[in-house]
Each structure stands twice: as C-alpha cells, then as structure tokens.
Chain A
Amino acid sequence: MTAVAQLLPASRRPKRMTPARWGLYAFIFITALYFLLPLYVMIVTSLKPMAEIRQGNLLALPAAPSIDAWVKAWTSACTGLTCQGIKIGFFNSLRILVPSVGISILIGSLTGYALSLWRLPGANILFGAMMVVAFIPYQVFIYPLVRVFSFTGLGQSLLTIVIIHTIFGLPTMTLLFRNYFASLPVELFKAARVDGAGFYQIYALIMMPMATPMIVVAVILQTTGIWNDFILGLIFAGRDNLPMTVQLNNIVNSTQGERAYNVDMAATLLTALLPLVVYFGSGRWFVRGIAAGAVKG
C-alpha cells in the first residue's frame, strides 16, 4: 500500500528548482502553448463581433468582448426552420451517448476478456478480423447497414444508433481490453479458476475492478467518438434523435448562406463542453485507476 500512496500526486512534494527542472517546465510551457493556441483563437473569435473578425487580426484580443455569439449559438441560431440554437440536440446526444458508451464498453471488455484469457478455438481469427475492420473507413459500411437495418425493421431509431455505435466501437474496445487483460499476471486468473470461479464471476469480480485505467481510457475514446459523430447519427438515429453535431454542422457548414464565425466558434465550444467535462472529471478517476493498477506489482 505504501507504494500506492507514493504514486498519488497528493502525497508528492514538488522538487526544488534545478536547471533540469527549469528545462522541464520550459518544455511543458512551450508544448502547452502549442496545444492552447487554437483554443485561444476560438475563444477570442467567439467574443468578437463579425465586423471585427472581418479585419482579420486573428490573435488580437476582442476590442469589446461580447457573449452575444454564445447566447445566439445556444438559444437562437437557425439550424433550418427551427431557430433554437444547438441546445435542442444536446439531450438527444446525451441519450445516444450514455447507452452507447456503456454497452460498447461492456461488450468490448467481455470480448477482450474472452479472447485474452480463455483459450478458445478460432479466437485469434476473430480478433484478427476485428483488427482489420478497425482500419476500414466506416463510411463504406453505410449503404449495406442501411439495408440491414431496414430489413430487420429497426429502421432509424435510438436503438439503431446505439447498436451502430456498439458495432463500430467493438474493434477498438476489444483491442484495448484484450491487451490490458493479457498484460495482467496470469496467476491471478489461474488462482481464481482453482477457487472454482466461473467465467462471468472472474470477469465481474476480478478483471473489471482491475481494469479501471483502461475503462477510463475507453470512456474517453468512446465519449469523444460518439459525441463527435455526425454521419452515423444523421443516417441511423432518426429525425427525433438527431445528435447535437447535426445542428452544429447546420450552423457551421451552410453552403451558400452568410457565415458568422463568432457563432460558429461558440457553437463548437458549446458542443465540445461535455467531452471536456468528462476529461477534466475523469482526471481524478484516472489517478485512482492507475493506483488500482499499481497494486498488482
């Protein structure tokens, strides 16, 4: 347990400043600038009126900051005939996101677990096929899948889009969990088998609790992918469940309409809010998960 305690940042005392430490902080500072620059541009643009944006001074701070664009993006920007901003899609996205993330991680971790620790005939072939699929642009599956879903009578619905996200998340999720479970000491698994634990018992009571770091990474991956998905939601979710990205696209990508970049930027930042919260919120879990992973040593 002491090793675990040492790993937690709370118990870490920052070291005194040596030249090497200065170099370290300089590295962190410069890389942080590279990462923050686009965000900075987005934020200042979203706070400028269009007349100021037309001047083209990208990095300048807004002369008179205004949150009008944010209000407009959330409540009144037109996304077709409805002019209620992007807020109407937020809850649709949430309704798609929660079950999709949950089910895809559940099935992906189960598959990864079965493929890694249980020596099943043909397991490598199944895994190999999934790996190949992970590389294929999923756009090529759209036509046949539309056919499959209309054939089964599911058509476009919330359930359809959840199944779709589960299907497309499966290869990556399986990869993630399979590799993780394979890296755990096999003795753990053997001991549980000797104690007479069954397949699902070992999964639920031993493996998943140990997989917290991977679950965090999986949640990050899936939340990002599903929340930012546009084309699948558009085609499979049905009119009543269209995700937020469809509205974002309607605001941002109009072909022949006039463009309001401040509203575009505000709408994008608003759309990205939920994944951002998940990231910031998962930081704590991240450390805890890693601590749990460290117990094995």
Chain B
Amino acid sequence: MKRTLFASVAIVATAWASAPVSAEEMKAEVIHWWTSGGEAAAVKVFADQFNKAGGTWIDSAVAGAANARNAAISRTVAGNPPTAMQLNTGKQFDELVEGDLLADVDAIATEGNWKGVMPAAIIAAATRKGKMYAVPINIHGQNWLWYNKAVLASVGADEPKTWNDAITILDKLKAEGKVIPLAFSGQKNWEQNLFNAVMIGAGGAQMWTGILGKRDTSLAQSAEFKAVAVTYKKLKDYVDAGAPGRNWNDATNMVIQGKAGMQIMGDWAKGEFIAAGKVPEKDYGCTVLSNGSGGYVMGGDVFVFPKAKDPSTTKAQMTLARLMLTPETQIQFALKKGSIPVRSDVDASALDACAQKGMRYVADKAQQMPSGDMLAPPALIGALQDAISQYWNTSMSADEFSAKVAAVLKSQE
C-alpha cells in the first residue's frame, strides 16, 4: 500500500516537473471571475481574438472575485502561475509588483499609445514605478442611478440631477405610498457603494479624494462630511423592511417591475434590464447625481501577467495585452459586458443610450473620478466598509460615525 503510494507520488511528481511546453505554441491560461451568461460572452471576445491570432485560450473561470483572486495569487506565490489573471483596477496588485512577480506591459502600452486614449486616472491605476503592469480593459461606472420612468412620471418627476432632487422625488414617492421609493440590497458592499454615491454626489471631488486618497482625518471630522453622513442615513427612510441581505439584482428587479422607484447601482445592473426586455431612456432612465464638482466613479477590471520563465508564455502574454485593447475588441467587449470601453477613440454608436452617456462622462476630465479601489488598498476599503455598514444598520449618530471613519483612516496609514 505504502510503496504504491510513494511510487505514484514519484510518477506524478515527474509528470509535473516535465510538463512538455512547446516553444512554438502560444498558450494562455486565464483566470477570471466572469462566469455567467453576459459576462462569459464578453470574455469570449478576448478568447476568440486570441485564438484567431494563433494562440490557445485556456479558460479558468472562477465565480466570485475573492475566489478567483485567491486561486490566482496562491498559484503565483507557489511558482505555478496562470498566464494572465483578472483583478479590479486599483491597488490589488501593488504587492505583486513589489515582489517582482509581474511582467510589465510598458512596451505594448507605448506601441499602442494607451496614454493618449485612456483617462489619466486609469493609466495611473495601472502604473507602478513608472511602468505599466496591468492592462485596463473596461470602465464600469459605479454610481449610476437607475429609475423606472413610469413610476417617476406618476408623481410628475423628471430625471434628478442632484441628491437634493432625488430626495424630493423620494419624498413624493413615499407620500404617495404606492411603491417603495428606493430599491436597496442591504449587503455590506452595496451599503458602501451607496455611501460612495452620496459622498461623491453630495460631497464632491475634493471630499472623495481627500477621504479615500489622502486619508485626511480632519476632513472626516468636518461638518461637510457629517452632512454627507446625514444624507446617507436619511435614505434609509425610503427603503423597505426586506432590504437587509437582499441581492442587488433583486433590488434591480423591483425597479424593473415598478415596485420601486429607483436604485443606485453600477452599470452591470443594465444586464437585468436587458434580460427583462426593457429599453433604456424609454422604460428606464440612467443618470449620475452630482453637485457639479466631479461625478463619475470609474471602476473596472484589469489583467495582469505573472512573470514567466518560458519565452512562449511571455509572447502569449504580450499578444493578449495587445489584442485586448484594439478598438474592435474594446467595443465588442463593452457591448457584451455592459461596461464602456477604456479607450475614448472608439466608435460608440453601437452602444446603448446609457453607455453613451457613460462615454460622455468619461470624456469630460472634470467628471472622471478614480474608484475607491484605485485610491486605497483593499484593507482600508474593507475597514471603511465595516464602519459604513455599522452606521447604516444601527442607531449610530453621524458624529460617532465620523469619529470612527477618522480612526479607520488613521489606523490604516
């Protein structure tokens, strides 16, 4: 028994060590977390392009960003990395660069003039020590407001522009009492997303970068920040009792069905509207609330490439990097994914009304805002999330909350 076990250990071990890699073939094992219908269709755009270029795309899809990252990073640390892995645009790969585990894509970036066609914040988020280490592939607006046109029309309301407008409408809907004013999914990350939407929309660009980027503790204790906190907490009056724990898509469906008036959610919510057969700017509207200074929070995804010993893998990595950003791939991907292209020089006419609106926001330098992930490391985002979630769900006062946020900013220095 034991001898056979050891024998098989040895066999498997040698098989592992001498896995044949032909220098001719271009293989790319890609770990990503796009698994379901529309998401998978989007990633297929990349795979098709790569296969067309003579490569072989090996798909390793793992649902759940944390799961996929977990698998990819474990393998990279263990010295058996995938060819490419998906991350969110932001600070998630800081330590991989510091540990010299990633290949840079600077040559491809220069060749493709990425810096000329992408928003500066996205370029900055992909650059470390003066070199680009990640390929940004899309932009997801995180703070969209989605509303049911018929429901808003029923109280005689137009598209809101600011949080004050929105609250006026919410009050009307509440007074009317026929629908739930604000559809909400009470999970930590969406509680944070809603807070962020209020912070950028009511607090403006200075507060956004001041809190998340500069970690300014005195700003966190300022009257302005407390006002943002009060506005945020006020939104709880417009939410139904079933909100805690609800999934975001169920909240979106409340808007689709006219059971609720509006929802704050990233542009992936569009997929639900499309699946239900709804038409943008006819059945539902989309907008971004802003106080005039900054407004559109740009999240998104990047691919990074762990350093490879084998030149054919490096070749595959650089081919992928190049292909992902051709204008044709970009527009195809965005159409499937519901995001907008990361390049501003593509023909946006094929995109739907909401995506075109998004393109206009991104084209305006004053509107482009880097997402929380780009400004702060995951540990800080997480700690803030806990604080926001506690504030939303308990009787904590705005003063206590601002003191707590200040403490979090201080502890994560």
Contacts and interface: CB of A to CB of B under 8 A. Distances in A.
Interface of A: 50, 54, 78-83, 142-143, 146-147, 149-150, 152-157, 159, 231, 234-235, 239, 246, 249-260
Interface stretch (B28-36, B174-182, B324-332, B370-378): B28-36
Given A80-B59, A258-B37, 13 more contacts: A54-B253, A80-B61, A81-B43, A81-B57, A142-B74, A147-B78, A159-B8, A234-B62, A246-B62, A249-B62, A250-B63, A253-B64, A258-B36
26 contacts: A79-B40, A80-B43, A80-B61, A81-B61, A142-B70, A146-B77, A149-B78, A150-B78, A153-B13, A153-B17, A154-B9, A159-B12, A231-B70, A234-B62, A234-B67, A239-B58, A239-B60, A250-B61, A251-B35, A253-B64, A254-B33, A254-B34, A254-B63, A255-B33, A256-B266, A258-B274
Given A255-B63, A256-B271, A146 B78 contact: yes
Given A78-B36, A239-B29, A249 B64 contact: yes
B7 to A, nearest CB: 11
Contact of A256 (B8, B71, B268): B268
B200 to A, nearest CB: 20
A258 B256 CA distance: 13
A155 B271 contact: no
B37 A156 contact: no
A146 B43 CA distance: 28
A154 B257 contact: no
Quick one: which of A81, A159, A234, A235 has the most chain B CB within 10 A?
A81
B379 interface: no
Quick one: which of A54, A159, A259 has the most chain B CB within 10 A?
A259
A134 B83 CA distance: 36
B80 interface: yes
Contacts of A149: 78
Interface of B: 8-9, 12-13, 16-17, 29, 32-40, 43-44, 47, 57-65, 67, 70-71, 74-75, 77-80, 140, 247, 249, 253, 256-257, 266, 268, 271-272, 274-276, 338
B233 to A, nearest CB: 27
B345 to A, nearest CB: 26
A254 B35 contact: yes
B71 A234 contact: yes
B74 A146 contact: yes
Contacts of B276: 54
Quick one: which of B9, B12, B40, B274 has the most chain A CB within 10 A?
B40
B86 to A, nearest CB: 11
A147 B62 CA distance: 21
Contacts of A251: 35-36, 63
Given A143-B74, A258-B275, A83 B40 contact: yes
A156 B268 CA distance: 34
B154 to A, nearest CB: 20
Please report whether the interface of chain B is mostly helix, strand, loop or mixed according to DSSP: helix
Given A157-B12, A258-B37, A231 B271 contact: no
Contact of A80 (B16, B34, B257, B338): B34
Contacts of B44: 81
B63 A249 contact: yes
B409 to A, nearest CB: 27
B179 to A, nearest CB: 14
A83 B17 CA distance: 32
Contacts of B67: 231, 234, 249, 253
A110 to B, nearest CB: 11
A77 B16 CA distance: 32
A25 B253 CA distance: 43
Contacts of B257: 54
A248 to B, nearest CB: 9
B39 A82 contact: no
B271 A258 contact: yes
B250 to A, nearest CB: 8
A260 B268 CA distance: 15
B59 A254 contact: no
Contacts of B8: 159
Quick one: which of B17, B58, B75 has the most chain A CB within 10 A?
B75
A78 to B, nearest CB: 4
A257 B271 contact: yes
Contact of A250 (B43, B57, B62, B70): B62
B74 A253 contact: no
Contacts of B271: 256-258
A151 to B, nearest CB: 9
State the 8 A-B residue pairs at the shortest beta-carbon distance, nearest first.
A80-B61, A257-B36, A254-B36, A256-B268, A250-B35, A150-B78, A81-B59, A153-B13
Nearest to B265: A256
Contacts of B272: 258
Contacts of B75: 146, 156, 235
Contact of A257 (B37, B59, B80, B266): B37
B240 to A, nearest CB: 12
Nearest to A249: B63
Nearest to B257: A54
Contacts of A259: 36, 247, 249
A153 B47 contact: no
A86 to B, nearest CB: 12
B73 to A, nearest CB: 10
Contacts of B35: 78-80, 250-251, 253-254, 257
A78 B37 contact: yes
Contacts of A78: 35-37, 40
A235 B16 contact: no
Contacts of B64: 249, 253, 255
A253 B13 CA distance: 34
A191 to B, nearest CB: 28
Contacts of A81: 40, 43-44, 47, 57, 59, 61
Given A249-B64, A251-B35, A155 B40 contact: no
Contacts of A258: 36-38, 249, 271-272, 274-275
A41 B77 CA distance: 43
Quick one: which of A79, A147, A258 has the most chain B CB within 10 A?
A258
A149 B13 CA distance: 10
